[in-house]
Structure 1
Amino acid sequence: MLELPSSQNWVKHASPSSCVERIEAFFSAHAFDPHRHDTYAIGRTLAGVQSFSYRGASKHSHPGVTMVLHPDEVHDGHAGSESGFHYRMLYVPPALVQQVLKGAPLPFLKEGLSQDPRLAAVTNALLYTPDPKLDPLAEEDALYNLITVLAEVSGQRQTKTSQDFMAAARAREYIDDNLDRAITLDELAWCANRDKWSLSRDFRMYFGTSPHRYLTMRRLDRVKSQVYAGKTLIEASLDAGFFDQSHMTRHFKNAFGLSPSRWWRGLAQSGI
């Protein structure tokens, strides 16, 4: 935690990432003077009112609204209520955005604030992860979703691009063969002989889900089969490639709507 001059103000920096920077902060009154980033600043006010000047107008961010500040646009920040404001923000380099969009104009939301639920959902995946350090493949999946939705929300037309089924199939086979280890999108791109962002799009098109989601579901399949074979949840979680049992449990509940213990208790009661 980085303590600022006022004891009421603080900023926390998330674990370093090869792709983006993430912070969480609280300010009781004045936050920062006019400045500009060479990245997108995309975030969410968690509590209070976050006020700032942007493109010649006063803006007020409330909980539930997504902030999208364009690179090189001057802005400041201060509390818009007596209670201060608590927020999370991530900083996305335009060069990374261009890797996904491949030469299309940078998405631009002139108001700097959006209530679009699509943008809220993809931003949440990067701002509200329960894991202090994102899995590399999970982070890249989330970034692909964020950038493509940001382009859509800003009104950009999607350009037609070529698809490569065999590349997606090679990536899927590589995932199946490496469930017990961390996999990156760069690895998948190398084995598939395809640039990683095109591969990410192809994978979704041909297999109906993202590479990381596919990896997670196959790991959960392995957990279930190993528990059926007599292993404990802890053993099965680690063997399947999860960090620990709690990591597996979060993904299990997201996938099936109930905890692993309730799942197997129900199977035992049904006699399966």
Structure 2
Amino acid sequence: MTGFSISGHQGVPGEALTEDAGIDLERLCGSPGDGIRVAAPVDGIERIEARLHGKVFEPHRHDTYALGVTLGGIQTFQYRGESRYSTPGSIIIIHPDELHDGGAGTEATLRYRMMYLQPERLIAALGDNGAALPFIAAPVVGDTALRQAIGEAVMDLDCGIDELALDDILTRIAEGLCRHAGTTAKAAGRSAKRAVFEATDYLRANLDRPVGSQELESVSGLDRFTLARQFRKVLGTSPHRYLLMRRLEQARRMIATGHSLAGAALDNGFADQAHFTRHFKRAYGVTPGRWATLALAG
């Protein structure tokens, strides 16, 4: 189901599943096409995507939170004395040290993505919102916001996660877990708003390069998770997204005045033109080349 009885197997995206990390898939499950793809850890967080048939995992425990999304088939497991079922789109939340097994609930292929989050990382992301680890009684929940946050964490097995983006993802996951545990968050105060605007000024002044979490901590006076939480409360977005959109805005203006696409990408901190094109199209619905044609024609 959610992984092996070790502290690091997570669910993640990707179509081609392989026998990575020395896992004996023939021993785990004999159906053709079964596999587990294991991504390189991102800042200590492990991620996987699995494609399985039948019961695969015997009862075991993790010392991490196992958080994932069922993508296809029916995921079934025993947890806290009950049989549980997760359908496509449902979120799975296994608390640290809780015994569980797992596998496919029907003959259809089970496909899911998981991430394994160390409790200490969650505690840091919680900040003042909670002194104890949030416990969610129901291990299968529906929650669009939490699913989106977990999905961003396991979106691409082949790539890492930007530091500012990871801060925001972990903050949103922490808030989602607290929400299902029945705890509440605090509103942003005047000092937090001032810190957020100090961070935005710094981000605007550094559009041409990567900005690290420690830099924003120094500028704002808030730790990275508190800043990510307050930033979203004040402006409705994350520091990572804010920086990305300011870069895209500036690049769009440059393109409209005749700058080359490659120049606009490099001058605004994008790794390469492909990276720039991908983000531009997600933000504006057209490629930079198409935008250049329309802007110059207008």
1:75 has 2:100 as partner: yes
Equivalent residue of 1:267, what SS?
helix
1:5 has 2:35 as partner: no
Separation in 1, partners of 2:245, 2:157 = 18
Shift of 1:10: 2.1
Out of 170, 173, 181, the residue aligned to residue 154 of structure 1 is: 181
Separation in 2, partners of 1:50, 1:42 = 13
Letter in 2 for 1:196: R
Separation in 2, partners of 1:221, 1:160 = 30
Moved more, 239-248 or 90-99: 239-248
CA deviation digits over 1:237-257, x for unaligned, max 9? 122112222322232233223
Letter in 2 for 1:226: M
Separation in 2, partners of 1:155, 1:75 = 23
* Closer, same or farther: CA 88–248 of 1 in aligned 2, 3 Å: same
> Where in structure 2 are the equivalents of 1:232-247 lying within 5 Å?
232-247=260-275
Say whether the 8 Å CA contact 2:52–2:111 is kept in structure 1: yes
TM-score by length of 1: 0.89
Shift of 1:19: 4.8
> Where in structure 2 are the equivalents of 1:16-35 lying within 5 Å?
16-35=41-60
Separation in 1, partners of 2:234, 2:188 = 14
Moved more, 160-169 or 202-211: 160-169
Moved more, 52-61 or 174-183: 174-183
Residue of structure 2 equivalent to 1:228? 256
Residue of structure 2 equivalent to 1:183? 211
Shift of 1:220: 0.3
Output the aligned Cα RMSD. 2.2
Residue of structure 2 equivalent to 1:46? 71
Out of 140, 148, 152, the residue aligned to residue 113 of structure 1 is: 140
* Closer, same or farther: CA 116–164 of 1 in aligned 2, 3 Å: closer
* Closer, same or farther: CA 15–184 of 1 in aligned 2, 3 Å: farther
Moved more, 191-200 or 211-220: 191-200
Say whether the 8 Å CA contact 1:167–1:193 is kept in structure 2: yes
1:99 has 2:120 as partner: no
Residue of structure 1 equivalent to 2:82? 57
Consecutive unaligned residues of structure 1, counting only runs of 5 or more, are none
Separation in 2, partners of 1:143, 1:264 = 36
Equivalent residue of 2:69, what SS?
strand
Letter in 2 for 1:95: E
Separation in 2, partners of 1:256, 1:130 = 25
> Where in structure 2 are the equivalents of 1:156-175 lying within 5 Å?
156-159=183-186, 162=189, 163-175=191-203
Residue of structure 2 equivalent to 1:262? 290
Say whether the 8 Å CA contact 1:122–1:142 is kept in structure 2: yes
Shift of 1:131: 6.4
Say whether the 8 Å CA contact 2:48–2:157 is kept in structure 1: no
Moved more, 8-17 or 42-51: 8-17
User: How many pairs were matched up?
Assistant: 270
Separation in 2, partners of 1:207, 1:118 = 17
Residue of structure 1 equivalent to 2:228? 200
Out of 48, 61, 84, the residue aligned to residue 36 of structure 1 is: 61
Letter in 1 for 2:203: I
Letter in 1 for 2:89: G
Shift of 1:161: 6.6
Shift of 1:88: 0.6
Shift of 1:120: 1.9
Equivalent residue of 2:84, what SS?
strand
Say whether the 8 Å CA contact 1:22–1:88 is kept in structure 2: yes
Say whether the 8 Å CA contact 2:250–2:268 is kept in structure 1: yes
Residue of structure 2 equivalent to 1:144? 171
Moved more, 164-173 or 45-54: 164-173
Letter in 1 for 2:269: G
Residue of structure 2 equivalent to 1:209? 237
TM-score by length of 2: 0.82
Letter in 2 for 1:60: Y
Shift of 1:85: 1.3
* Closer, same or farther: CA 130–221 of 1 in aligned 2, 3 Å: farther
Out of 121, 127, 135, the residue aligned to residue 154 of structure 2 is: 127
Separation in 2, partners of 1:182, 1:166 = 23
* Closer, same or farther: CA 192–157 of 1 in aligned 2, 3 Å: closer
Say whether the 8 Å CA contact 1:14–1:133 is kept in structure 2: no
